[in-house]
Structure 1
Amino acid sequence: MTEVQIDVAALESMQSLLGEQFKDTLEFCCSEFERLGNEVIATLGNDKEASIRHAHSLKSNAAQFGATSLSEVARDIELSLNQDNLDQATSASAYLMAQVTGSQAKLNEWLATN
């Protein structure tokens, strides 16, 4: 999956929920996307439990802030690892950092105009 998809309704919901803290929280989440993505890549094939944990966290954080395509890639990695399918997880991970970078760009673009 190469197309980056953002769910604006999820973003607006979080903005309504967090109020003044939304901007700082979104910026923090964008940095967490990168950290967690790097952790998934670093642990993939070396530490299954850590890879699953990082992919799960990335999946959840991305979904909460509307980064749907990033969440889907992280979900695919998590599910594949839970099914002991390292090849499939590795294949999905090829898209992970492009999704992180693309999602960060689209979320920051949205933030700048809202």
Structure 2
Amino acid sequence: MTTITIDEGALEGMESLLGDQFADTLTFCCSEFQRLSGEVLANLDSENEVAARHAHSLKSNAAQFGASSLSDVAREIEQALNEGHVDTAIEKSQNLDAQVAGSVEKLQAWFAGR
């Protein structure tokens, strides 16, 4: 089972910072989670530097928008790739799609409840 953790404080901070732009930015960010995770998975074990860069972007974007557990998984993948531990990165990536889907679902539910 995949545990999804959302930092509501980070979301509230971004909402306060972005104001009227928050809804559109959150929607864009969720689509970026999907795009970046797809890039990580597509490049893993063939273009590991590219996969690490996408994992880094995913880690940062997820953290900014409160998707804590997704950010953690992306950080673990990035770190493993940067250290040359491709097998570890592949193992950590097994949970990536579930993290993205669960995070997007929880972020959208949080926003809908505002």
TM-score band, normalised by the shorter chain? over 0.9
Q: Unpaired segments of 5 or more residues in structure 1?
A: none
Q: Unpaired segments of 5 or more residues in structure 2?
A: none
Q: Name the count of aligned residue pairs.
A: 114
Is structure 2 residue 38 aligned with structure 1 residue 38? yes
Q: What letter is aligned with 2:4?
A: V
Tell me how far 1:48 sits from its aligned partner: 1.1
TM-score by length of 2: 0.99
Is structure 2 residue 113 aligned with structure 1 residue 108? no
1:45 is paired with a residue whose SS is coil
2:3 counterpart residue number = 3
Question: Using the alignment, how far apart are the partners of 1:78 and 1:93 within structure 2?
Answer: 10
Tell me how far 1:49 sits from its aligned partner: 1.1
Question: Using the alignment, how far apart are the partners of 2:50 and 2:29 within structure 1?
Answer: 19
Question: Using the alignment, how far apart are the partners of 1:53 and 1:86 within structure 2?
Answer: 14
**What is the CA deviation profile of residues 7-36 of structure 1, one whole-angstrom value per residue up to 9, with x for unaligned ones?**
000000000000000000000000000000
**What is the CA deviation profile of residues 62-85 of structure 1, one whole-angstrom value per residue up to 9, with x for unaligned ones?**
000000000000000000000000
Tell me how far 1:55 sits from its aligned partner: 0.1
TM-score by length of 1: 0.99
Tell me how far 1:87 sits from its aligned partner: 0.6
Q: Which runs of 4+ in 1 moved over 3 A?
A: none
1:103 is paired with a residue whose SS is helix
Question: Using the alignment, how far apart are the partners of 1:2 and 1:70 within structure 2?
Answer: 10
- 1:11-50 to structure 2, matched below 5 A, reads 11-50=11-50
Identity %: 60
1:69 counterpart residue number = 69
2:53 is paired with a residue whose SS is helix
Tell me how far 1:2 sits from its aligned partner: 1.6
